[in-house]
Structure 1
């Protein structure tokens, strides 16, 4: 009942069909998208793309074999998912503890009269761990609870009250309700706020980019690893680079590649974009400098420019989308 109240504010609301059918489903093993999760439109996609960022982190920078996203087999997919979920849970537990929830065959408690059954929440059993490796092993041993159809795998990994707070929790380990740096105690005219607004306090492995009037702080724009969850017109996706030094050597940011995956089944290969921040401004070669930039340039490009202002972007033959 407490989980329901945290998430929905009451015990009557239940997850809809789209959420219930969502799980962590990989694309075909040993394909050019074998590293990628398949994510349909809807709220669950934000969770899936945040987990996708951690999967990329594991496959590129953390596994004890050559870092390569190509030709990932089924077992390696399962290991990557287990490592990603464990990494998120352990960080959220301030690297002291982690709790995993699994669905059991029988109800674990007797619901009250003011509780609406969903045949899911009332069957949850919690398992707590004091070591990250024990968490990873447990998830790997029960990976079918997260990656099989009908498992409600994404809901198992949810149960938090705000989408922004959830994304920050999944990316940074702290459920900050805002994406700016630090804490705001005063509004724009210098008047004290009734309550301080809490943002992101430190850089984390994952970043976040969003083209909107809500300014994303430098903590999220400049993560420790070159992996970003992107919010593009309310749809979530992942942008990444296999070049670890991209964010630690400013010379690398003159001319580099970024790879983009949006989670949709219609994307048949990873899009490679070439980013040029050094030679010319992005609007220099465009004769029409009037009107709404969103109508003249893909939203993904505008999102990238929130991090690399003025960058020219080449889709390398791919028809621009997003």
Structure 2
């Protein structure tokens, strides 16, 4: 019996639908089977530096795929990020049990605690390029926020005062591309690690696809610290290039980027130097807080100054038991301001000294009631010419999701004859001050602050 025209038409439609779905599956199989998209007649190079011949690709495990699985004709227009896990054959040297144990003790004071989820999920990610916040990192909460904001200070330093051939103005910060963002992040991270290595060498930690340390009764594994590969670099430019080549290990989702940077910071400084710089008041770098971990001041000072000084005052002081406590010895490029409850019950130990208040460049990491932010000026002469300090502009980035562009403030430190009456009125009961205004006045005591039409942050 001949099939009816209606049945024949239905069969043809079913066949077309099946064919369409098979083609769709083949398309996605080709996308996910390759590490980098290329063309059939080219030879691509994977992230390990090993050549993969035409028709051979790798999946996420690093295993070669069978020949004959061609690439999409239009794949040259696409791009797939480099993986955040490198091959164990990439060089460097693997972490040992002794190193992993010492690392855990330096961070937590024991070998049992592991990072909380807010830490393991944190990485370095910019806002959209060519936007009001193109220069700014998207920051997390808790301890990771303080590290991201400290790195933010060095990003601003690089964009305003280190880049060659670029304008040092606020608009230049908003005009950077994704390419500029990548180079800036690599330069900022490399500069911090190089300073921590005493300008002699830097160590960069990356995660490999092999495990080198097995958990023991005295050491709890976390699934990634046992897979570290350490790379020592003896040149600052080489450090920057290495980080740039492996930038996905710090800025890719799920890469543990902030933790890897912290590990790199510790290994660059070395356990020996850290032991000399910490004191009886600070024996390890992180402290538990509400299910997570906060950075102690030594971590922030290590990023800002290259030394893990546990306190913010100048030089050294004696504690209540006459022990020697270590503060900041020299001025650094990036400063630090603090207002609100300090990290110590002794107000004397919580004071920020002039070494941090007056950095070489007008960029400050701010700790306002435990929330970290960045305050900066685009005028390099602000801290070296007293005439500039009479009336000047500052920009403030809080990192809060609600902030769509930096706040623009005008600071006037020149006293006027009517200010005494104004100050008396300001200090009447019930008068509220913005915490940002208060932290600015820890540096410029009697400054009047114009928000230029913005609503003050409380």
Aligning the two structures, in what range does the TM-score lie when normalised by the shorter sequence? over 0.9
Deviation at 1:108, TM superposition (A): 2.1
| Corresponding residue to 2:256 among 145, 152, 163 | 152
- Cα offset for 1:282? 6.7
What secondary structure is seen at the aligned counterpart in 2 of 1:318? coil
CA distance in 1, matches of 2:262, 2:421: 44
Once residues 247 and 400 of structure 2 are traced to their aligned partners in structure 1, the CA distance between those partners, rounded to angstroms, is: 22
Following TM superposition, by how much is the alpha carbon of 1:209 offset from its aligned partner in structure 2, in angstroms? 0.2
Q: Which runs of 4+ in 1 moved over 3 A?
A: 279-284
Q: 1:198 corresponds to which residue?
A: 326
Match status 1:59 vs 2:159: yes
Does residue 1:299 correspond to 2:435, yes or no?
Answer: yes
Distance 1:140 1:285, change over 3 A: same
1:258–1:272: 8 Å Cα contact kept in structure 2? Answer: yes
Which residues in structure 2 correspond to 1:1-322 (within 5 Å)?
Answer: 1-67=101-167, 68-159=172-263, 161-162=284-285, 163-185=296-318, 193-212=321-340, 213=347, 214-280=350-416, 284-285=421-422, 287-291=425-429, 296-322=432-458
Q: Distance in 1 between matches of 2:127 and 2:419?
A: 34
Native 8 Å contact 1:185 1:196 kept in 2 = yes
CA deviations on 1:296-318 (whole Å, 9 max, x unpaired) are: 10001000000001100011111
Ranked by relative contact order (alpha carbons within 8 Å, sequence separation 6 or more), the top structure is: 1
3-state secondary structure, aligned to 2:262: coil
Distance across 2 between alignment mates of 1:261 and 1:56: 11
TM (norm. structure 2) is: 0.66
CA drift at 1:12 = 1.2
What is the SS of the residue equivalent to 2:173? coil
Q: Which runs of 5+ in 1 are unaligned?
A: 188-192
Structure in which a larger fraction of residues adopt helix: 2
1:186/1:235 Cα in 2 relative to 1: closer, same or farther (>3 Å)? closer
- Give CA-to-partner distance per residue, 1:255-298, whole Å, 9 cap, x none: 00000001122210011110000044877425252348xx6100
Counterpart in 2 of 1:190?
none
- The separation in 1 between residues aligned to 2:421 and 2:262, in whole angstroms, is 44
Q: Distance in 2 between matches of 1:55 and 1:32?
A: 15
Conserved? CA contact 2:127–2:137, under 8 Å: yes
Give the Cα–Cα distance (whole angstroms) in 1 for the partners of residues 124 and 227 of structure 2.
Answer: 20
How far residue 205 of structure 1 moved from its aligned partner, in angstroms, is: 0.2
> d(CA) in 2 for partners of 1:270 and 1:141?
30
Q: 1:284 to 1:235 in 2, by over 3 A?
A: farther
Q: In structure 2, how many angstroms separate the alpha carbons of the residues matched to 1:284 and 1:243?
A: 31
Q: For the structure 1 residues 101 and 49, does the alpha-carbon distance in structure 2 shift closer, same or farther, using more than 3 Å as the test?
A: same
Contact 1:204-1:219 at 8 Å conserved across structures: yes
Shift of 1:203: 0.3
TM-score computed with the length of structure 1 as normaliser: 0.94
Larger radius of gyration: 2
Instruction: Please list the CA deviations of residues 3-53 of structure 1 after superposition, one character each: whole Å capped at 9, or x if unmatched.
Output: 111101111111111111111010001111100001122110000000000
